[in-house]
Structure 1
Amino acid sequence: MTIIHVAVLGYGTVGQGVVESIHSHQKELQRLLGAEIVVDAILVKDPLKVRDIPPGIVWTTNFDDILELGHIDVVLEAIVGCEPAFSYLKKAIQHGCHVVTANKVMFAHHGNELQQLADENEVHVGYEASVAGGIPIIRSLSELLRVNQVHRLEGILNGTSNYILTEMRENGHSFEEVLADAQKKGYAEADPTADVEGDDAFYKLMILSDLLYGEQPNWTEVQREGISKVDREQMELAEEFGYRFRHVASIEPSSRGLQGKVMPIVVPNQHPFYHVDGVDNAVNVEASLVGSLMFQGPGAGRLPTASAMVEDLVQVLRPSLQRKGSKTIQLDEVEGGATKLLKQWLLFVPQNPSLPTPFITSGKLIKHKSGQKWKAILFLGDDKTIYEWKTRLPMVRLYEIRGAKEWKELNSDQPKVPCLNSLAF
């Protein structure tokens, strides 16, 4: 039987899962590929660390040792950071190897360059594991993009932040308590900044933007906010309105170009993310023909991520399965670019004796509820107005209610609706 030789870069949680999955699913791989998959080499960082590497596999700290073997067909990369991962994969492609990566930071920065280099060298790049863990979102979107245009994508792309928000809501613990628990369980790193402040979700969103639209928005213009300022009382007040907090990344074309956001929002029970709890990820896509599609599944962990990498291994070895997305939408043709929309927002103002209660100068549809620390106010406003208030009043917390009804301010067929005009303190 033909043998396909692979090397694995990194032998942490994901790398070990990849090797384990190749061994445990060898029969399925042989049935699909008509060949035996053999892991020949593993790249490690620390030569002194004790590892349980299966017998017969060469391990090394020098990537050139792996290339010098001369017969590696596929390199699977599961290390962290842009470098040396990017340099390793460039070398692998130039040596005629297919590559598969789980590295979202590196691929967000260099994915297009790697894919162009792979085309020049007639090999393939798999990157399913870089976004949404075990959810096959890259393959699904690639299939979808053969005809459909995606008007909007939004996703819960980080399992750690979703787990924290879920535990805070269900068990009444503080952000700090749940974060410590997540670290003990291995859901959060010792330095959790990338997860809880939105960096991890941001890089995944940029990868999806490239796939959907063939480009990324200007990184400095993408609104990025984490969950560390969400507290238990805010959650309780939101639930009294019927809403739940979610940390959501979204991308959509507009007349001003691609608009990206990574931020906490609140969702009503009719929103597809309302019931997505724990470490699950979810992606909701609005497309031109198929309408709204929802994908949900485990977003992280050894076997879900390893599953995505092994599925990519099959994909790169069977080029007939490849589907290319990266379809550019003509941004000047996007509908609604000149229409001002009023969105529903949930605003939290500190209950502080030195800060009189804010009031809305117009509108009768405003609701409010009070807690010990915060007063919660439900209101309507457009993006520009809201972010002006957010800049001027940093003590106030503002959250978009995603999935709630929007009103077109300039549509005379609609009754006049309240808009946030002024806050007085």
Structure 2
Amino acid sequence: MEELKTLKIGLLGSGTVGIGVYKLVEAQREEMPHKIGANLSVKKVLVRDKTKKREGIDQCLLTDRFEDIIEDDDIQIVVEVMGGIEPARTYINAALKAGKHVVTANKDLIAEHGKELLDTASEHGCDLLFEAAVAGGIPILRPLKQCLAGNHLSEVMGIVNGTTNFILSKMTEEGMEFSDALMLATELGYAEADPTADIEGYDAGRKVAIMASIAFNSRVTFSDVYTEGITKITSRDIAYAKEMGCTIKLLGVAKNTPEGIEVRVHPMLIPSSHPLAKVDDSFNAVFVHGDAVDDAMFYGRGAGELPTASAIMGDVIDVARNIQFHCNGRISCTCYKELPIKKINEIESKYFLRMQVEDRAGVLAKIADTLGKHNVSISQVIQKNSRDNMAELVVITAKVKEQNFSDALADIAEMETTKKVSSVIRVY
């Protein structure tokens, strides 16, 4: 029997996910000959300090020189789990130019420089796969590129940040305020020491840019995505949402409309009966609509050592199979269109508007008149009396262009009877 060859991996980074990848390669060692027709092993691991011990990784594999990987002809697959733009961008470009195939989990890099890297991969007949860059262990990019390729996709939306979903879940289930829920998320390890990228929507924005590019076959970068975080959401907003049969979630929304692509991340009230409303804690879910498939939803763990490593290993196995059958580079950049990106003020939404107003006759009529002058229709009103002749007023609008609503809101905020605009949240 012919001896099986061994495909060698160079691993860039040995943090939580890097260790997860190494563990899976080892755990799957006996399965690989059956899955890919070859053996698979990690030959080198790039680290900053090779004297520091890494859990479960043989010290002799560690190197602090990228040249040890790029110049090693035995290494055919490079797995990048360092994160950040540089030096990851330089390293991936160099690996592709050296004819090595690359698997990465780097959403920041792909959202900003995906075209450049995919062009380099195509030029050198290499695979560049990045399933783990979006939604952790949930398969979504490969389904968009392959399983759903027979569809014209019109919408991709979902919960793609576990930290913010955990925070909003705690606020919904236990009535916590944002600051307390964030503190709990930090204590449990769901939130980073600096949670800005999560709570301001930047992390989700990068993922939405990647999904929109693939789903609509047109380049979308992070700078195209309107982002708004969850820091202004209060338990009072959530209580009103519940009263109206809704749940507040941080959603990434991408739509392919006749006028152009909409890409945005912001909190949104969605009906509590919607499948995404039932996605709680650190779980993620992506909802896709296509002309042939209709609706499909992908649900699972959106982050973590092994869920993310699972997505990376799926890509590594795909690359290994391509190597075995000499068909690398068969799916490169799928952005063959150049569709316009709509500005946020051109997008239509419904709105939840909560404000403190004087509790006297004619105030609601005046607000309704101001909204009407800007072509904003009211679909629902809740008014609750509070103290000192002040009332809390909640208005739900019909669908309206963002610019019209913004103009109306500016006028309402300047009215003498308006003491405070407390919340503005879009409604699905």
| Alpha-carbon distance in 2 for matches of 1:213, 1:163 | 29
Say yes or no: does 1:167 pair with 2:170. yes
Q: Tell me how far 1:169 sits from its aligned partner.
A: 0.8
- Aligned to 1:210, the other structure's residue is in SS state helix
What residue number does 1:116 align with? Answer: 119
1:347 maps to amino acid: L
Partner of 1:231: 234
CA, structure 1 residues 374+83, in 2 after alignment: closer, same or farther (shift >3 Å)? farther
Q: CA offset at residue 54 of structure 1? A: 2.5
Cross-structure match for 2:416: none
Matched, 1:360 2:374: no
Q: Is the 8 A contact 1:80 1:103 kept in 2?
A: yes
C-alpha separation in 2, matches of 1:369 and 1:8? 59
* Equivalent in the alignment of 2:273: 270
Where in structure 2 are the equivalents of 1:185-264 lying within 5 Å?
185-217=188-220, 220=223, 222-264=225-267
Which one-letter code corresponds to 2:334 in the other structure? S
State the alpha-carbon separation in 2 of the partners of residues 102 and 147 from structure 1. 26
Could you tell me which amino acid in structure 1 is paired with residue 393 of structure 2? K
TM-score (norm 1): 0.85
Distance change (3 Å), C-alpha of 1:193 and 1:351: farther
Does 2:31 align with 1:28? yes
Partner of 2:181: 178
1:397 aligns with 2:419: no
Aligned counterparts, 1:245-324, within 5 A:
245-319=248-322
Which runs of no fewer than 5 residues in structure 2 stay unpaired? 341-345, 414-419
**What is the DSSP-based 3-state SS (H/G/I as helix, E as strand, rest coil) of the residue aligned with 1:253?**
strand
| Aligned counterpart in structure 2 of residue 388 of structure 1, from 401, 404, 407 | 407
Question: What is the TM-score when the length of structure 2 is the normalising length?
Answer: 0.85
1:379 is aligned to 2:379 = no
Return closer, same or farther for 1:327/1:105 CA change in 2, 3 Å cut-off. Answer: closer
1:349 matched residue in structure 2: 355
Is the CA contact (8 Å cut-off) linking 1:146 and 1:325 kept in structure 2? no
Report the Cα offset of residue 195 of structure 1. Answer: 0.5
Flag structure 1 segments of 5+ consecutive residues without an equivalent: 333-339, 403-425
Task: Show the counterpart of 2:343.
Answer: none
Question: Which is worse superposed, 288-297 or 52-61?
Answer: 52-61
**1:370-399 Cα shifts (integer Å, max 9, x gaps):** 386953222214123223345664935222
1:127-175 deviation digits (Å, cap 9, x = unpaired): 0000011111011111244321111111211111111100111112221
Q: Deviations over 1:194-229 (max 9, x none)?
A: 001011011111111221233334755532100010
The structural deviation recorded for 1:181 is 1.4
Identity of aligned residues (%): 32
Which range moves more in the overlay, 388-397 or 181-190? 388-397
Q: Is the CA contact 2:7–2:76 (under 8 Å) kept in the aligned structure 1? A: yes
Counterparts of 1:220 and 1:75, CA distance in 2: 28
- Aligned Cα RMSD in Å? 2.8
Residue 341 to residue 7, structure 1, CA distance change in 2 (3 Å): closer
Q: Provide the C-alpha distance between the structure 2 equivalents of 1:86 and 1:325, rounded to a whole number of angstroms.
A: 17
Q: Tell me, yes or no, if the aligned pair for 2:43 and 2:61 is still in contact at 8 Å.
A: yes
Decide whether aligned partners of structure 1 residues 10 and 389 sit closer, same or farther in structure 2, where only a CA change above 3 A counts: farther
1:93·1:117 contact (CA, 8 Å) conserved in 2?
yes
1:341 is displaced (CA, Å) by 9.6
* Distance change >3 Å, CA 352–CA 244, structure 1 → 2: farther
Query: How far does the alpha carbon of each residue in 1:309-361 deviate from its partner, in whole angstroms, 9 at most, with x for none?
Result: 000001112236965672656869xxxxxxx997542211146889x767323
Task: Judge conservation of contact 2:17–2:309 (CA < 8 Å) in 1.
Answer: yes
